[in-house]
Structure 1
Amino acid sequence: MSAIFGIIRFDGKQVTDDTLKRMGAAMRTRGPDGIRHLNIGPAGLGHCLMRVTREDRFEWQPIEQDGLVLVADARIDNRDALAETLDIAPDRLERMADSDLILAAYREWGSECADHLLGDFMFAIWDDARQRLCLGRDPIGMRGLYWYQGDGFAAFATEAKALMTLVDVPRKLDDVRLMRAIVRDFRTGENSSPVTGLTTIRGGTIRFVSLDGVVEDTVYWEPHAASEHVGRDAAYYHETYRRLLIEAIDCRLRRLLDPPGLLLSGGFDSAIIAGIAGQGMAGTGHRILTITSAMAPDERDASHRDSDARRGAQWCLDHMPHLDHSWWVQSDEDFLKAAGTAEHVGDDVPLQLGFVFDEMYRDLRSRGARTAFDGIGGDETVNPRIRSALASLWRARRWGRFWREARIEARSAHVGALRLAIGVMLPQWLRRLVRGRPGVDGVHWTSRYCVSEQLEAFVEAGDVQLPKQVIVGDLGARLRTLELLRSRARQNNANEAAAQGLELVRPMLDRRLIEFGLAVPDSVQRVNGRYRALARAALADILPPEFATRPPGQEMLLPGSERMIRGAASAMREDLIRWQDRPELSSHLRIDRLVEDLAPDRVETADGIQLAVIARMYLTARYIAWFRGLN
């Protein structure tokens, strides 16, 4: 992934070259093919170049033409359609970078250009005639953008660390955002960085910044069901689902310079990408480089066999000869050692299993990949884990189908069909009253290790909500989709992939798939008690045959994580003892209780949920200590 950065001043001062150089140097992992900037007096723009597609050979940014200066990090998928609309000849299009197309679109449509672009993009355009800066982000926010506005200036960058090079950005952590990290609530997009004052521009937004300091946002896209997909029959959904998936995956493959990499989790989403990518790469001479994090075959006991990714990944390998696969199996890796750099790379509190991604990214890059595909987003868009389609059937008054599905679901849940049906028939307000306040896995342990007064104050004020891990009910996956897309808070693994020289690609978060997925009724996604019925039926010739009847289940990133955390308990305890008198930590976390529960006798009897929460709390403490320069 490339990167962009820039500054605009409102106080009459000039942007200095040294300032821009420092910002670019902070993101040098995204600029292996060059880092350049342009100083234009009250503003300055810069670009870090990572060549991934054929058109990237023609990239040379910043672009300066007729009073416009542009920098962009982009992959534009509708190049041919844009060229036809903009009257660009095919031979000229072949020599145009994606950034050139964005600039041409801006000339044609001005601030409305972003809505005409299909793909992942982030751009900044200085318009000298209007004396303003225009920032645009793709609908989903796949390309990162952090923002800071201070006294007399504003600045932006793909990564937060570039903004931290500016002397006027405060070195202070945001207490609210830290509490969100502690309770794992990343749905609110405003405080998207732990650093005070650093926010993001939401996906689907254009921001205008004038020299007088006025900042205006225009939202050009929100998650919605496209009208052409609403109220259609099952045959339409099957045909359209297949067509859009092939388009979304192929447009991310067809222009690559190097063979694509894929994190193959063994689930539906990554298996779909693996199967369709094989067809898209036919004739190119490239195989799909895949990697799976799995347990060693001799360590797979009965408790982990169904959740280990090895089973599903092996099904793909058995039926997809175009895959060039490797396994990543944990041996003696220490997630504490990996976390030593994760704070700086990720711009956020690190995840306890983040080092697994680092290892897989490193493997793909060493084998020649420049992109890393994964299936993230499928659960929230076109392949939702529909826990129950009964509510939508009840609302649609499809009584026969309702009772048939109720009987099937009741048998699998070992409850009475009538009891299950009555629960669905209740109005939503009554169901919420019966269920009580939603919670999260490990909420008891989370509360134990937080400073209770602060946590209670946040929850009571509505600043922090404790989200339910899986929303059950009539809106199901659609609510989860809106939460995911509206938050756009954490740039999931984009920085980590870029640090290994890879561009992160997520076709399941394609705009076309979102607008289609939100229109598909639950009754099409779950049929005869099986979730993901749409994928099973529409892609029967692409998915391994075992997927037609595979039961529900979640592939774990690292099933042996409990052993890993127990092995690091002593080192975590020593660090926490060293930090326990620091007010920066004790104002958020109960360090004494963490130290107590990390004692050898306590660790041996702790269950997996408690260990996971302890690891998360430790990494939060470590991040605070790292930020303060305490370690």
Structure 2
Amino acid sequence: MSAIFGVIRTDGAPVSEREIGRMANTLAHRGPDGRHIAVHDGVGMGHCLLRVNREDWYEAQPIRDGGVTLVADMRLDNREVLADELGIADARLCDMPDSAILLAAYRRWGDACAEHLLGDFTFAIWDSGTRRLLLGRDHMGQRGVYYYHGEGLFVFATEVKALWAVEGVPRRLSEKMIGRRLLFPVDHEPGATLYAGVAMLPGGMTLSLNSDGSVLTRRYWEPHPGVEHLGRDDAYYLETYRAILTEAVACRVRRLARQPALLFSGGFDSGGIAALAGPIVAAQGRRIVAVCSALEAGERRAVRDARAAVEAFRPYPYLEISYYVRGNDTIFSDLEGSFSATDDSAGTAYVRRGLYRLAAESGARLVLDGMGGDYTVNVRAGAMLGRMLLRCRLGAFVSEARARRRATGRSWPRIWREDVMPALMPLKLSAAIQSLRRRGQPFWRMRPINAEFAGSLFAQGVIDPSRLRMARSVHDRWHQRWLSLLRKAAAMVPVQSTLAAIEGLDFSRPYHDRRIVEFGLAIPERLQFREGLERYLARHALADILPHRLLISGPGNDAEDPDSFRMACECAPSALAEARTLDHAGRVSRYVDFEKLAAMIVDPKEERMADHRALQIAMRTVALARFIAWFDKANR
């Protein structure tokens, strides 16, 4: 991914080339093909260039034209439509970079220009005539931009570390966000980051900085069902599923300068991307580099491994399959390097780091990710048989229950327990049952958080202790759950794109395409579960291009990190001991309860999924503890 950055001083103080140059230097890994800055009139802006698509060879940012200065990190998918609306001739369009089209869109529509864009983007536009800055982020937040707004000062950048290159930007952790990392509240706080005073512009929003230093944010889009997709017949949804997914994938690969990479599990989400992108990439004389996380061949663990599903795609000529096997890697491998690179405790995703390395070694500059299908067009609906009973669809219930048994081989008691009962149970009753199992103990006490710190968060109203994530849903289900996941995804800090950028990769999720989201939210329930299985549309719309093994596969997903349990068991005790040694003057134990952490990693059993969850939480918490200690040391 490329990068954008800038400083605007509204107090009359000058902006120096030196501070803008420092910002550029911190983002050098995002600019292998050039770094350029423009400083004038109390404003400094810059751009780091990573060429991914053909049009990127024409990029020459920052653009300065008639009092407007523009920087953007973007891939426009509707270039031709915009050109037609803006009166740009085909001959001119063919060698026109996306940023120049954005400039024309801004001149036509002003602050509303983001509403006309389709693709992944962040941009900043300074208009010297009005002395206003416009900052924008794409619909689902596939690319990110951080900002700091202080007295007479506004700073923005693709990564938070670049903000700290500017004097006056605070560098301190947010206790509220530390608490959220420890407690896992259901409700997301759009724009919040790990750092006090530093915000992330949520997806689907623009921000305007006015001449008086005031800031106004505006939402131009949010996840919703597309009205054109509502109330259609089954044939429409089957045809449109394939058409929209094909176009969302094609937009990302048809203009590439190199072969793409794909995070691949052989499931419906990544498998659909591979099957649709393959012929396009093959026509370019290339292959898709499919990077997969798996166990060693022949090895078995308690969770599902993706190797068998991936191997079903082996005959596909346009796929070049490459496996990442954990070996000695752990979540704590090169821990401080991960913290420094991502400025986040979540940057310790060692499997993703390994996959991105494989992708980069292949020469790719784009890596695609299938995440998002589960809550857009390939939803894992959950308990849809019970949902049919609730809606009094008795005939459908009987036929689908029989189909479920045939398709999965599940016993009738298991079908009742897993596919029916969860839907019939009110969410409040589910919460009450879980509370009884905890013997009335508040759920937050199951988390390894310092009780006094947790109490202070509750007293301040920062976190609602009744709305924390649990193993079983007690808050939202079905459509409301998918909508909630989409809203969170659009507002999240883009850790994965930052990890990919470390390896010189652009990163994109086709299932987070605006068109996919609007279509997915319009799909009727009758097509989310049919013939006893989820993902009916994928099984039928892509039946001619997916492997038979996948088309008849049962419910569930393969684990991206199938060796995580053994990894955690191997390193948890020593990692916890190391974290304890870093607790100088109670700086870490102010937040983390080390005794609870120790109890969570005692004698775990691989066959118990609850122990898998406990170990996962423990590892994340130890990583957070280490991050707090590392950040304190780096700040000194």
TM-score, normalised by the number of residues in structure 1: 0.92
| Alignment partners' CA distance in 2, 1:401 and 1:473 | 27
The alpha carbon displacement at 1:179 in A equals 1.3
| Alignment partners' CA distance in 2, 1:558 and 1:23 | 35
| Alignment partners' CA distance in 2, 1:590 and 1:434 | 26
| Alignment partners' CA distance in 2, 1:289 and 1:216 | 43
| Alignment partners' CA distance in 1, 2:306 and 2:598 | 33
The alpha carbon displacement at 1:385 in A equals 0.6
What residue is the counterpart of 2:238 in the other structure? Answer: 238
Instruction: Judge conservation of contact 1:183–1:446 (CA < 8 Å) in 2.
Output: no
The alpha carbon displacement at 1:71 in A equals 0.3
Verify: 1:451 aligned to 2:450, yes or no: yes
Q: What SS does structure 2 have at the residue aligned with 1:206?
A: strand
Verify: 1:309 aligned to 2:306, yes or no: yes
What residue is the counterpart of 2:560 in the other structure? Answer: 557
The alpha carbon displacement at 1:538 in A equals 0.7
What residue is the counterpart of 1:361 in the other structure? Answer: 356
Q: Deviations over 1:275-322 (max 9, x none)?
A: 111122232100111111100013225x34xx101011111223x121
Query: Cα distance 1:454–1:237, how it changes in 2: closer, same or farther (>3 A)?
Result: same
What residue is the counterpart of 1:467 in the other structure? Answer: 469
The alpha carbon displacement at 1:44 in A equals 1.5
| Alignment partners' CA distance in 2, 1:54 and 1:270 | 25
Instruction: Judge conservation of contact 2:24–2:35 (CA < 8 Å) in 1.
Output: yes
The alpha carbon displacement at 1:445 in A equals 9.5
What residue is the counterpart of 2:368 in the other structure? Answer: 373
Query: Cα distance 1:616–1:467, how it changes in 2: closer, same or farther (>3 A)?
Result: same
What residue is the counterpart of 2:617 in the other structure? Answer: 613
Q: What SS does structure 2 have at the residue aligned with 1:111?
A: helix
Q: Which moved more, 1:57-66 or 1:207-216?
A: 207-216
The one-letter code matched in structure 2 to 1:327 is Y
- Paired residues in the alignment total 621
The one-letter code matched in structure 2 to 1:333 is D
What residue is the counterpart of 2:383 in the other structure? Answer: 388
The alpha carbon displacement at 1:396 in A equals 5.9
What residue is the counterpart of 2:28 in the other structure? Answer: 28
The one-letter code matched in structure 2 to 1:483 is L
Structure 1, unpaired ranges of 5+: none
| Alignment partners' CA distance in 2, 1:509 and 1:471 | 23
Query: Cα distance 1:213–1:619, how it changes in 2: closer, same or farther (>3 A)?
Result: same
Query: Cα distance 1:87–1:341, how it changes in 2: closer, same or farther (>3 A)?
Result: same
The within-5 A match list for 1:99-110 is: 99-110=99-110
| Alignment partners' CA distance in 1, 2:494 and 2:437 | 24
| Alignment partners' CA distance in 1, 2:262 and 2:419 | 40
What residue is the counterpart of 1:526 in the other structure? Answer: 529
| Alignment partners' CA distance in 1, 2:17 and 2:293 | 44
Instruction: Judge conservation of contact 2:176–2:462 (CA < 8 Å) in 1.
Output: no
| Alignment partners' CA distance in 2, 1:202 and 1:334 | 31
Match for residue 506 of structure 1 among 488, 503, 509: 509
Instruction: Judge conservation of contact 2:383–2:418 (CA < 8 Å) in 1.
Output: no
| Alignment partners' CA distance in 1, 2:401 and 2:37 | 62
What residue is the counterpart of 2:135 in the other structure? Answer: 135
Query: Cα distance 1:501–1:199, how it changes in 2: closer, same or farther (>3 A)?
Result: same
| Alignment partners' CA distance in 1, 2:534 and 2:176 | 37
Instruction: Judge conservation of contact 2:131–2:211 (CA < 8 Å) in 1.
Output: yes
What residue is the counterpart of 1:624 in the other structure? Answer: 628
The one-letter code matched in structure 2 to 1:549 is I
Q: Which moved more, 1:187-196 or 1:126-135?
A: 187-196
Structure 2, unpaired ranges of 5+: none
Instruction: Judge conservation of contact 2:384–2:419 (CA < 8 Å) in 1.
Output: no
Instruction: Judge conservation of contact 2:430–2:474 (CA < 8 Å) in 1.
Output: no
| Alignment partners' CA distance in 2, 1:547 and 1:554 | 11
Instruction: Judge conservation of contact 1:147–1:156 (CA < 8 Å) in 2.
Output: yes
Instruction: Judge conservation of contact 2:223–2:486 (CA < 8 Å) in 1.
Output: no
TM-score, normalised by the number of residues in structure 2: 0.91
Q: Percent identity?
A: 38
Aligned CA-pair RMSD: 2.9
The alpha carbon displacement at 1:97 in A equals 0.2
Instruction: Judge conservation of contact 2:123–2:135 (CA < 8 Å) in 1.
Output: yes
What residue is the counterpart of 1:580 in the other structure? Answer: 583
The one-letter code matched in structure 2 to 1:216 is L
| Alignment partners' CA distance in 2, 1:289 and 1:51 | 18
Match for residue 574 of structure 2 among 566, 571, 576: 571
Instruction: Judge conservation of contact 1:309–1:556 (CA < 8 Å) in 2.
Output: yes
What residue is the counterpart of 1:346 in the other structure? Answer: 342
The one-letter code matched in structure 1 to 2:249 is I
Q: What SS does structure 2 have at the residue aligned with 1:199?
A: strand
Query: Cα distance 1:116–1:586, how it changes in 2: closer, same or farther (>3 A)?
Result: same
| Alignment partners' CA distance in 2, 1:418 and 1:178 | 37
The alpha carbon displacement at 1:343 in A equals 1.3
Query: Cα distance 1:186–1:100, how it changes in 2: closer, same or farther (>3 A)?
Result: farther
